[in-house]
Amino acid sequence: MGQDQNGGSERRRSRTCFSYLYSTILSHSSLERSLSFHLGNKLCSSTLLSTLLYDLFLNIFTTDPNLRSATVADLRAARYRDPACVSFSHCLLNYKGFLACQAQRVAHKLWTQSRKPLALALQSRISDVFAVDIHPAAKIGKGILFDHATGVVVGETAVIGNNVSILHHVTLGGTGKFGGDRHPKISDGVLIGAGATILGNIKIGEGANIGAGSVVLIDVPPRTTAVGNPARLVGGKEQPTKNEEVPGESMDHTSFISEWSGYII
């Protein structure tokens, strides 16, 4: 009797799992349709219905081939940079950083089409549901990994290049109440550690590494590590130590510690 009950419970769990996978992935004829369905259900509200969001997402994903290539690059980034990501479907279904990024791409498209009220409404829902607040005007490249993603804030005039990895509680913010171009520009291959704050219209050079908890207020040269509050360059301002690998892809957060005696855990 006990074995029959256990067997029945196992079959019910298997059916539930298959039903979820079927409704979100297997029943859809393309990545765009699956992603649009999943985002529509995640972000819907009493005023933004899931069916309307599905149509909105699908229309934008299918009319802009660059968005599909960006989505694929983001999936690859999560699968190959994060050892906790066991499959592409795991990322597609469960990684809120990935989902928030894809939804922001749609909001950005709406923003460029002068559909700003809808873009801002979508930003608000992304923030409510995923705890990720990215302004729809911000420009984001391909191969982006928002690892864990909780508390990430990206300002209006921020630019994020390709193959960048950003951990949780990172802020790309401004320095005051004035408008204009006021947010950081993150070049390709950059790694930004958890809790880092980068403020102002400054440039983080290609392949740079921003240590966890750092507060960066100055430009960081390419392939250079910046750590601390306020951040300083590892190896000194005049001759900073150069990163040998691409931090945004290697995800190496600690290689600089032996070279910086001021770093304390």
Within 10 Å of residue 44's Cβ, how many Cβ atoms? 17
Q: What gap in Å lies between CA 140 and CA 5, rounded to an integer?
A: 51
CATH of the domain at 26: 1.10.3130.10
53 and 161 together in one domain: no
User: Are the C-beta atoms of residues 247 and 209 closer than 8 Å to each other?
Assistant: yes
Number of domains in the chain: 2
As given in the structure block, the two tokens for residue 45 are 């509200």
Residues 144 and 244 in one domain: yes
Give the integer Cα–Cα distance in Å for 56 and 253.
38
Does residue 207 contact residue 222 with C-beta atoms inside 8 Å? yes
Q: What is the pLDDT of residue 215?
A: 97
Residue type, 22: Y
Give the pLDDT of residue 256.
62
Tell me: do 162 and 120 sit in the same domain: no
Residues 118 and 216 in one domain: no
Which residue shows structure tokens 């193959």? 163
pLDDT of residue 264: 41
Q: Which residues of 26-43 are buried (b: 16+ CB within 10 A; e: fewer)?
A: eebeebbbbbbbbbbebb
pLDDT tens digits for the chain (265 residues)? 555 555 566 777 777 777 888 889 999 999 999 999 999 999 999 999 999 999 999 999 999 999 999 999 999 999 999 999 999 999 999 999 999 999 999 999 999 999 999 999 999 999 999 999 999 999 999 999 999 999 999 999 999 999 999 999 999 999 988 889 999 999 999 999 999 999 999 999 999 999 999 999 999 999 999 999 999 998 645 556 666 678 988 888 776 665 554 544 3
128 and 147 share a domain?
no
Q: Which of the 8 DSSP states describes residue 74?
A: H
* Prediction pTM value: 0.89
> What element of type H or E holds 111?
helix 96-112
Q: Does 169 share its domain with 63?
A: no
Task: Say whether both 128 and 142 belong to one domain.
Answer: no
- The domain containing residue 195 runs over which residues? 138-265
